Structure formats: structure tokens, C-alpha cells
């Protein structure tokens, strides 16, 4: 059965890292382009292109025609029209430097315009803090006028009402809001593309982690290949390699389980025949053979117990997917195990006490959980000194939204070496001190406990108690609400 776990950490780590790094890199590149463009530009970088210069020449000719037909009033009206259409100020000068439209011009502007009218050479440059574009315009009586336009440094500003500029200069500028909107669209588009790319990269990792968790929980049939679709990159290759490994592990575990089960069943038959032969031998043998026959009987019982535990271990593996799981009352199970163990412990001067037993319910396999708790309790009864009690407790522990049952079994024995605490749950593990072979253990009880607890999504750990004693703590997730 599946243990409750947190959401995938990959979505909160690898995916976000890849996505944010891609997006940040894109934004930094855009920012670097803007900064370098600003730092490397010159003050007078803007100059109208050729078609704009042609337009200026056309405005100049119309200004000259207006002056020659209607004099200064007509020219002044026309120049006001030009200013409304282009948002720039224009002047018309004669070769003597006179401003013909009645407008005001500085001395340097007048001098520049007069030089253009005399030489016929256009001028573009900064005069009195303003960029001037001066174009020669032929006069009807011979010679030239000078059509002068005051240009802004850089692209011209917006129109008189804050909108886009009118006339030919409208093609050369953008308002700040438009530029900001375009920049925002670029950043959001880059973010969407980076999101898709990061998702594409991390999706196989997320799926691989999900399958790895399933395999860890005992579902050896889980495979990642079908979830990767038609991908053929390195991540897909890693997923297929994982599937190959999982298939190999499943085959080995299945073969081991099957071999263990088959051997256990095969040993039962000769063991049963040995018991029958032992009974016959007792009837035929005299008192001299009684001690030897008793030894044979004890060893036969130990062998029968070991075979039973091997079969239990094999059945626990076959129930890895939660077959036979149902809602059960842990409190009732703990009381039942304690009562049975206490009855047996009384014969050896020991006892089993329940010091705390809260009501906890969960979904699980009753036989496996009973075996898990019973093996630890019987083990504790075996090693606690005469005249002492094994203490058993059950508490419901809540940590945020998660809840678990905590079962603690403590004896008053000598404990185990610290280096052996992580080994005692391995099958057939034995030690050469107080918990030795002479006690009669088979080395399978705690292994069955660990396997059963793990198949229910729980954990089991052992520790020595300061001052003497040994405690085993079993934690099981409460995945079924109490009723």
C-alpha cells in the first residue's frame, strides 16, 4: 500500500531552478542590450533618413512658393501649418540672413541659414543647443532661400496631445508607454518559452521519481518507459535504463521469494515425518535415550518455527500491493497481542504491561501487523530479566496534516551494541552477546516486523535506553479515519 508523502520536490527545486535561470538569463540579455545601446550612443545620433530629407526639401519649396505668392503673411500661415503637422519649428531665410516669416531666430541660426543660402550647401548640426537641419531652396529671381528646421536631439517627441507624433517624424519615434509595453511582451514571451523548455527538461525526472517511489514502496512492476511517450533523448535513455534495472530486480526478488516459499514447503514434509518417527522412537527406546530424543524434539520444534516464519516472510512479500487490507483497530490489536504474550510470559516469571493505549484506526493487513507487533513483544519477553515487565504503549501522533500511530515496546534487558542497531532487522542476523543463539531465536522475527511495517508505509527503529533497557518504536501512517 502506498505511503502518504509530500508533493514532488522536483517541481519546487529542479524545475524552478531551470525555469528561473532561463528566464533570468533572457531578461539579463535584454537588459544588457538596452544598457549597452544607451552607453554607446552619441548625443547627435539622430539624423533624418534620405526620404525625410526629401520631405524637408518639399516643405522648403512650398514655403518659398507661399512667400513669393503671398508675402510674409502667407509664409507665416504655412510655417504654422508645418509646425502643427510635424511638431517642429521651421524658418525661411534669404541670402542676407533675414527671417522672412516674421519668427524669432538667434544670431547663430541666422548666420548658418545665410551661409547655406549663399553657398547652396545643406547643414546639419548643433547650434545653440538645438539640432538644425538647413536646406537650400531655389528662389524665383535667382539665388537660394534657406529652409531651417529645429530638430530635437534623438527621435522627436510625441504629438501636441501626448499621442504619437504627426507628419514624417511620426515614423521615427515611439512613446515610452509603447516601448514599455513591447518590453513587457518580450519578457512574458521569453518567460512562456522558458517555462515550456524547463517543463520539457524536468518532466522525465518527475516521472522517474514517481516510479522510483513506487518501487521503493514495494511495487516492483512500476515502469517509467510508458510515461515518457516518444522521447528519445538522454533523459528518456536514463528512464529506459531504470526500467531494465527494475525488471532485473523484480526477477531476482520474485525468484528469491519463490525459492524461499518452495524450500519452506518442501521442508515441512520431512519435518512432519521426523515428528512421527520421534514419537515411535520414544515408545520403543528406553529411559537412556530420553535426553537425546528430547534434544531432537527441541531442534525439530525450532526448525518448524523457522519454517513458519519463512513462510510468513514470503506471504508478506506477496501482499506488497495491499491485497487483503481492510480497516482495523490498532488499539484492539495491541491489547490482544499483549494479553497473549503476558499469558506466556507468566510461566517464566515475566509480564507484559500496557502503559498507554489510545484509540487508533488505519487500513492494513491485520495478520501482518499482528505478526509485526507480536514478534517484537515476544522478543522483548525473551530478553527482559525475570521479575520485570515488558512495557507496551500506543499513541496517535499528529504532525501538521499527517497522523501516525506510534507503538513502543520496551524491555529491561542489556540492549544491543550501538553498531548493531541498524542490523538487527536483517534476516538471520545474530549477535554473540546477551541476545545470542542460546536464547532460542531464529533471527527472522524482527526481519518480519520490518518488512510488514515497511509494506504499510511505516518505519521501525530500535534504540538502547540510557541506564538499561531496549526499546523498539513502530510508526504507522493512519490512512483510514476512525469511526
Give yes or no for a contact between 475 and 459, defined as CB atoms under 8 angstroms apart.
yes
Q: Which of 151, 150, 60, 148 is nearest to 98 (CA)?
A: 148
The span from the CA of 372 to the CA of 451, in Å, is 8
CA distance 478 to 483: 13
At residue 84, the 3 state secondary structure works out as: helix
Task: Enter the C-alpha cell of residue 281.
Answer: 522412537
One-character DSSP codes across 143-160: SEEEEEEEEPSSS----T
Q: Which of 38, 161, 265, 456 is catalytic?
A: 265
Q: What's the CA gap between 464 and 434, in Å, rounded?
A: 14
| CA 118/CA 139 separation, integer angstroms | 12
Catalytic, 265? Answer yes
Of 132, 95, 100, whose CA–CA distance to 116 is shortest? Answer: 95
Nearest-angstrom CA–CA distance, 406 and 396: 6
CA distance 187 to 286: 99
Name the DSSP letter for residue 99. B
Residues marked active site are found at 265
Amino acid at each position: 500500500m502506498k505511503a502518504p508523502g509530500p508533493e514532488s520536490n522536483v517541481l519546487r527545486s529542479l524545475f524552478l531552478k531551470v525555469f528561473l535561470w532561463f528566464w533570468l538569463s533572457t531578461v539579463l540579455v535584454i537588459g544588457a542590450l538596452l544598457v549597452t545601446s544607451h552607453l554607446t550612443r552619441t548625443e547627435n545620433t539622430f539624423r533624418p533618413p534620405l526620404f525625410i530629407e526629401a520631405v524637408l526639401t518639399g516643405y522648403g519649396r512650398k514655403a518659398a512658393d507661399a512667400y513669393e505668392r503671398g508675402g510674409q503673411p502667407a509664409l507665416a500661415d504655412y510655417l504654422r501649418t508645418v509646425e502643427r503637422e510635424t511638431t517642429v519649428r521651421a524658418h525661411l531665410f534669404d541670402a542676407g540672413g533675414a527671417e522672412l516669416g516674421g519668427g524669432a531666430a538667434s544670431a547663430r541660426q541666422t548666420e548658418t541659414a545665410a551661409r547655406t543660402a549663399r553657398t547652396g550647401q545643406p547643414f546639419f548640426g548643433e547650434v545653440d543647443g538645438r539640432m538644425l537641419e538647413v536646406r537650400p531652396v531655389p528662389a524665383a529671381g535667382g539665388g537660394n532661400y534657406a529652409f531651417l528646421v529645429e530638430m530635437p536631439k534623438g527621435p522627436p517627441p510625441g504629438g501636441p496631445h501626448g499621442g504619437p507624433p504627426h507628419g514624417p517624424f511620426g515614423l521615427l519615434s515611439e512613446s515610452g508607454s509603447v516601448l514599455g509595453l513591447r518590453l513587457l511582451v518580450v519578457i512574458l514571451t521569453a518567460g512562456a518559452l522558458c517555462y515550456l523548455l524547463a517543463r520539457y527538461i524536468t518532466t522525465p525526472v518527475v516521472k522517474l521519481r514517481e516510479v522510483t517511489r513506487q518501487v521503493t514502496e514495494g511495487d516492483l512492476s512500476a515502469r517509467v518507459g510508458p510515461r515518457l511517450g516518444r522521447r528519445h533523448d538522454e533523459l528518456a535513455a536514463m528512464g529506459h535504463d531504470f526500467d531494465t534495472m527494475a525488471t532485473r530486480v523484480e526477477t531476482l526478488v520474485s525468484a528469491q521469494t519463490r525459492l524461499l516459499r518452495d524450500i519452506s514447503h518442501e521442508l515441512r514434509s520431512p519435518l512432519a515425518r521426523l515428528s512421527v518417527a520421534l514419537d515411535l522412537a520414544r515408545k520403543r527406546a528406553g529411559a537412556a535415550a530420553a535426553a537425546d530424543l528430547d534434544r531432537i524434539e527441541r531442534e525439530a520444534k525450532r526448525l518448524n518455527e523457522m519454517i513458519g516464519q519463512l513462510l510468513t516472510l514470503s506471504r508478506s512479500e506477496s501482499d506488497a500491493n495491499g491485497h487483503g487490507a481492510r480497516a482495523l483497530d490498532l488499539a484492539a490489536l495491541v491489547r490482544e497481542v499483549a494479553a497473549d504474550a503476558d499469558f506466556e510470559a507468566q510461566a517464566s516469571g515475566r509480564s507484559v504491561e500496557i502503559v498507554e493505549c489510545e484509540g487508533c484506526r488505519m487500513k492494513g493487513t491485520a495478520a501482518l501487523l499482528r505478526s509485526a507487533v507480536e514478534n517484537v513483544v515476544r522478543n522483548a519477553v525473551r530478553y527482559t530479566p525475570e521479575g520485570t515487565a515488558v512495557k507496551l504503549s500506543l499513541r496517535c501522533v499528529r504532525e501538521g496534516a499527517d497522523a501516525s500511530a506510534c507503538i513502543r515496546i520496551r524491555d529491561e534487558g542489556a540492549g544491543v551494541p550501538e553498531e548493531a542497531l541498524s542490523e538487527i532487522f536483517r534476516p538471520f542476523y545474530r549477535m554473540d552477546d546477551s541476545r545470542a543463539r542460546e536464547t532460542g531465536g531464529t533471527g527472522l522475527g524482527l526481519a518480519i516486523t520490518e518488512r510488514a511495517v515497511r509494506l504499510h508505509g511505516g518505519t521501525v527503529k530500535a534504540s538502547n535506553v540510557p541506564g538499561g533497557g531496549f526499546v523498539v518504536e513502530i510508526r504507522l501512517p493512519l490512512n483510514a479515519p476512525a469511526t
